[in-house]
Amino acid sequence: MKEQKPVTVLINGKATSCKEGKSEQEATTKEIAAAVYTEERAAWEIIEGEESGKVLDFKKVLKPVPRPSALKKLGNKRRMFLLRRKRNTTPFSKPWMTAAIAAIITGCTFGAIILMLFTGESASTEAQIVSARQTKLNSTGSSPATIASVPLDFHAVQNGLFSTEKKAEEVSSKLKEQGYAAAVYKQGANYSVLIGLGNKKEQAKSLADAYQLLGVDVWQKQLDASYSNLKITQKMDEPFIVNGKILLQNVITLSQVPELSKKAKASIKQDYEGWKQYGDKQDEKWPSKQRKAAKAYEMQISTALGKLTSTHSKEVDWPLQQAVLDSFISYTKLLDTLK
């Protein structure tokens, strides 16, 4: 007879002893959850039962299966590779910081240019630069000196270029009688009738378009009226000449601004007063021609400043444009006395 092995069955948490020979129906009576493992079939941790059978305790925590050595090596290599990668722990990358600094520098430079053109503060800034330069030369400040160059680059609107001054004056007079701005400027051996002036090409084009709508013939061109090797009685006179040019440039720009703030107008007038005060102190030391030319330019630039208004109509302010052209001619005549 076949030997029957007693086994212990765990049913609903209770150990029950039975034999393998019993019918299948008896073994499953009222059975909810059970599992039987003998010593040969159990591959995990087992506990001693009441008899010779072995039962797996499902309440035990299974031990982890050890990883094969090949997988361990692969995992270690990958971990070491990840550790070797240097992470960027800085909050901002170098390219981003470089771009930000470049943007700040560009914004500041652009703001300085706008300030120079629309507030007139550049005149006082240039005065400080030149004054700082002249401070180092106090010992020779009262000696004669030379201004290497005074660049005067403009964009002009012309009505014509004539070989004689008489003909140019006739054309200029007719334009003024019609209410437009005009001035005669000598260019080499010829005489040009200027009817508009701008620091930028766009400014001159705006005036040229206004004239064309009125049926006036115009030619737009770049005008180089620069001077070099100017002789001055004292080195301290250089700021007066340089700042006089900057006042002219600012008046040209402000004469075409649609709206002029009170702050901008007050700023350029303050620059003018400082420039004028120095001229009043020095004029007795200047030669007669230079003194008269300086006073003439002072009067013309003052007239132009007086015509600057807070708001402009859509039409061109011809009296103001005339004052601008007259200021330009007066300034060139002042520089002519220093040749």
Residue-by-residue DSSP string for 251-300: HHHHTT-SB--HHHHHHHHHHHHHHHHHHHHHGGGS-HHHHHHHHHHHHH
Which uninterrupted H or E stretch holds 187? strand 183-187
Q: Per-residue pLDDT tens for 121-141? A: 444 444 444 554 554 545 455
18 and 147 assigned to the same domain: no
Closest CA to 54 of 33, 38, 35: 38
Q: Per-residue pLDDT tens for 300-310? A: 999 999 888 75
DSSP code of 140? G
Find where tokens 């007139």 sit. Answer: 120
Is 250 a member of any domain?
yes
Is 197 a member of any domain?
no
138 and 253 assigned to the same domain: yes
Q: Note the pLDDT of residue 29.
A: 43
Is 75 a member of any domain?
no
Q: Which residues on neighbouring strands pair with residue 259, listed in sequence order?
A: 311
Is 66 a member of any domain?
no
The CA-based angle 262-264-268, given to 5 degrees, is 120
Q: Note the pLDDT of residue 119.
A: 43
Is 205 a member of any domain?
no
Q: Which residues on neighbouring strands pair with residue 227, listed in sequence order?
A: 150
Q: Note the pLDDT of residue 261.
A: 76
Is 275 a member of any domain?
yes
- Give percent helix, percent strand, percent coil of the chain, each to the nearest 5: 50, 20, 30
Instruction: Please tell me the total count of domains within the chain.
Output: 2
> How many residues are listed for the chain in this entry?
339
| Residues of the chain predicted below pLDDT 70 | 1-142, 258, 310-314
Q: How far is residue 191's CA from residue 167's CA, in Å, rounded to a whole number?
A: 9
28 and 119 assigned to the same domain: no
Domain holding 112, by residue range, is 108-152+225-336
- Tell me the C-alpha to C-alpha distance, in Å, between residue 251 and each of 109, 149, 245, 329: 22, 21, 10, 14
138 and 11 assigned to the same domain: no
Q: How far is residue 100's CA from residue 109's CA, in Å, rounded to a whole number?
A: 14
Q: Note the pLDDT of residue 314.
A: 66
19 and 147 assigned to the same domain: no
Cα-flanking dihedrals φ and ψ of residue 190, to 5°?
-115, 170
242 and 136 assigned to the same domain: yes
Q: How far is residue 293's CA from residue 237's CA, in Å, rounded to a whole number?
A: 14
Judged by DSSP in three states, 325 sits in helix
Q: Note the pLDDT of residue 33.
A: 45
50 and 113 assigned to the same domain: no
21 and 134 assigned to the same domain: no
Domain final residue pick, 17, 37, 55? 55
What is the distance of C-alpha 7 from the center of its chain? 90
Is 180 a member of any domain?
no
43 and 115 assigned to the same domain: no
270 and 331 assigned to the same domain: yes
Is 174 a member of any domain?
no
234 and 315 assigned to the same domain: yes
CA dihedral 60→64→66→68, nearest 10 degrees, is 140
Closest CA to 305 of 322, 326, 320: 320
258 and 143 assigned to the same domain: yes
Q: Note whether 260 and 119 are within 8 A (CB).
A: no
Judged by DSSP in three states, 309 sits in coil
pTM: 0.59
Q: How far is residue 321's CA from residue 166's CA, in Å, rounded to a whole number?
A: 23
